[in-house]
Structure 1
């Protein structure tokens, strides 16, 4: 049985109390102006790579605002939310901090966030929608990451296969995706799926990575087949309808029927090794968020290509996951905090982060800097930009998802293992998920 949001927050507070005894933080919640008369704001994030860029961003902000100092506080992601929840309960949260779509409902419905006012038309609309509640925006759009298809160009060349201009799929197995994946899947005897003598238990390389990862996998299949995850923002889960179940069946069939993807015993979370398998040259096509590039491209011993995700019967529809700069509703320096958040939504800082290859900026018109950065690393990320201009969707924006996530993965692990049918898994997951929606 899942814990209620109230119990989860109380549990998070207890965990954070233990956690912080072993932490040395770079700052704390803002207090009164120091002897210099300056106001000190605390800005919290979890990405150590992006912290390097934000040090430059904050230096520029402080130069333009000599009465404000900004302390950057870095917490690892697995500690970030526990500590933030504890700080919110204690009334000592940072002035400005990163917010995700899945965590957003828990914080905004509890009055933790301050609404912001800006011209929303200048930002990617999926990011804007991800942080809108009751008609108000509760976060300055920061950046976005999107799911695309990383692929091993060396394996394609070795197999004599070219990446099609457009990959397609349908629930019945038709389309170019499965055809290409078969050609790139080979066992120790050199046989491909569909050929006499092919042994899936002795596959040497797989054409595709299909596994239980909601953001890069089955949620995209559902949306591209005309299904929906929730009926509306802050609503109920509905992904047990016919279109959604057909899409789930397709993802499972790539593994258990067509044998073009690794077995779930190797890939199921939390111990899945898919990223390692791709880097090792054992998987040809790997759906991934562009944010994974810094962790894959430098270690790959082959040339990494990028292609758009396959188009389904309803077209191509991919997950776009944006972040926002959230302003704490109880900041002791609300005007200065809002000033910082507003600045972070302008062209200067967002261009700096894009040009440094950290992320695609949420502000429209600045993506080229990110493209140019990765071009210098011999990776063409333009397909990600192409996708972002098409049909995109956020992760489920509804209360309870963060508590439901573990159970969702458990249920879908069973589905990928073939122990539950897609209909059974979807029905069970929707029922469990809706029980957590407030």
Structure 2
């Protein structure tokens, strides 16, 4: 998928977008799923931010209409506008009947009484929903959305480059307490300047690098979250950041060191400005190891084509083993919609929580459906493309903490610029990480 359907914005993640679990679209507008509902008034609205998911939901809603008699009109609002428009529409009473929600924002709307408690609405099939997503949206005794899709993190490897350098991606690990480790050694072997020299060689020119070893950047989901957890650091506790621990500072120092000291990762001057730089370098055959999520699959698959062979493996392991960040998108019900629509909203949420309702998401290769009985559709789609996506499934079993809380976005927006300063080398981890924690917590207070 394009970057990114699940999660947080450019300012928040330091990447181009947000899910899964996912990707923002550059276009907007309405896309109907079938007719306009005729004259019986049994029409619902459904809002999402990912253009690549529209066709899948259109197919799903066509089947829903035949079963229920309710027609669903799809409202596509690009990620860049989604969180600006949503609070305005909720306040004015113009919010969609059902709409996509992420973990960093739902608590705010839940606390304002805008969301239906799913435990009161959907009575069947909840035991088949992906537990990591259910846990993300469970709060104060209620479940505040129907899980739709999820993503985790794995390592994309350019097999041609790794074979030439003698690197096995399944053996990579990092250790901030060591002078060197398998990741840094592999990254050095995989990084070249225009003269064919590696970092550390006499005359190596970092400014003329034509090939990079690994991506390391201010990306909350693919880099920061997994590497903090793999080094034993906790992200937050009781809606407050606690990442400025000894392990957290060491992890940040290690991540920036891959950029500025080892010189095996692309410059933060580039990745801070555009979070997709690393992905694009990978598709161009100029980056050997690219840690990312399934939201990058389609872009990588289409961008690489037949240029080189690539595979997926577990995220790079740290002292605590390999860790992944698991995010999920849910469909929330508008608790303040007209009473006449509440029956239809309940039917739609129930459909969206079913395997049949979610199968088009997987069958079209959009994302991992959150219903376990529909996930095989996504695996089969990519298997048909020659891509084994099982590392994402395995990675989800070792999940790091995602962002939650009523003001999670505000906290991330305060912390991310400081993280970017660390990656670019203008602020040390020892100084910047505690500052990011302090300013992030102040923004969430």
Measured against the shorter chain, the TM-score band is 0.7 to 0.9
How far apart in 2 are the matches of 1:34 and 1:413? 49
The 1:361/1:272 distance shift into structure 2, 3 A limit, reads closer
How far apart in 2 are the matches of 1:272 and 1:352? 27
Corresponding position of 2:442: 435
Say whether 1:237 aligns with 2:244.
no
Question: 2:165, 2:190 within 8 Å by CA — same for their partners in 1?
Answer: no
Say whether 1:46 aligns with 2:49.
yes
Corresponding position of 1:344: 352
- What displacement does 1:35 show? 7.0
The 1:34/1:46 distance shift into structure 2, 3 A limit, reads closer
Corresponding position of 2:228: 222
1:175-234 residue CA offsets vs partner (Å, 9 max, x unmatched): 3222221211112222222334333232221110111111111121111111111113xx
The 1:272/1:391 distance shift into structure 2, 3 A limit, reads closer
How far apart in 2 are the matches of 1:63 and 1:23? 27
- What displacement does 1:435 show? 1.1
Where 2:262 maps in the other structure, the secondary structure is coil
Question: 1:126, 1:394 within 8 Å by CA — same for their partners in 2?
Answer: no
How far apart in 2 are the matches of 1:173 and 1:265? 26
Corresponding position of 2:403: 396
Question: 1:321, 1:394 within 8 Å by CA — same for their partners in 2?
Answer: no
Gaps of 5+ in 2: 1-26
1:302-358 residue CA offsets vs partner (Å, 9 max, x unmatched): 323211101111112211110001001111111210210111111112222212211
TM-score (norm 1): 0.88
Q: 1:409 aligns with which of 392, 396, 416?
A: 416
Q: 1:180 aligns with which of 162, 167, 186?
A: 186
Say whether 1:116 aligns with 2:118.
yes
The 1:238/1:59 distance shift into structure 2, 3 A limit, reads same
How far apart in 2 are the matches of 1:290 and 1:77? 18
Corresponding position of 1:154: 160
Corresponding position of 1:359: 367
How far apart in 1 are the matches of 2:371 and 2:431? 41
* Deviation >4 Å, runs of 4+: 22-27
Question: 2:193, 2:204 within 8 Å by CA — same for their partners in 1?
Answer: yes
Task: Give the superposed CA RMSD.
Answer: 2.1
Say whether 1:62 aligns with 2:65.
yes
Corresponding position of 1:422: 429
Corresponding position of 2:107: 105
Question: 2:410, 2:444 within 8 Å by CA — same for their partners in 1?
Answer: no
How far apart in 2 are the matches of 1:69 and 1:417? 50
Where 1:435 maps in the other structure, the secondary structure is helix
Question: 2:28, 2:78 within 8 Å by CA — same for their partners in 1?
Answer: no
Question: 1:411, 1:429 within 8 Å by CA — same for their partners in 2?
Answer: yes
Say whether 1:259 aligns with 2:263.
yes
1:217-256 residue CA offsets vs partner (Å, 9 max, x unmatched): 1121111111111113xx2111101111111111111111
Q: 1:385 aligns with which of 393, 396, 399?
A: 393
1:249-292 residue CA offsets vs partner (Å, 9 max, x unmatched): 11111111111111212221357622222222211111111112
Question: 1:144, 1:361 within 8 Å by CA — same for their partners in 2?
Answer: yes
Q: 1:293 aligns with which of 297, 312, 318?
A: 297
TM-score (norm 2): 0.86
Q: 1:170 aligns with which of 162, 175, 184?
A: 175
Where 2:356 maps in the other structure, the secondary structure is helix
Question: 2:414, 2:443 within 8 Å by CA — same for their partners in 1?
Answer: no
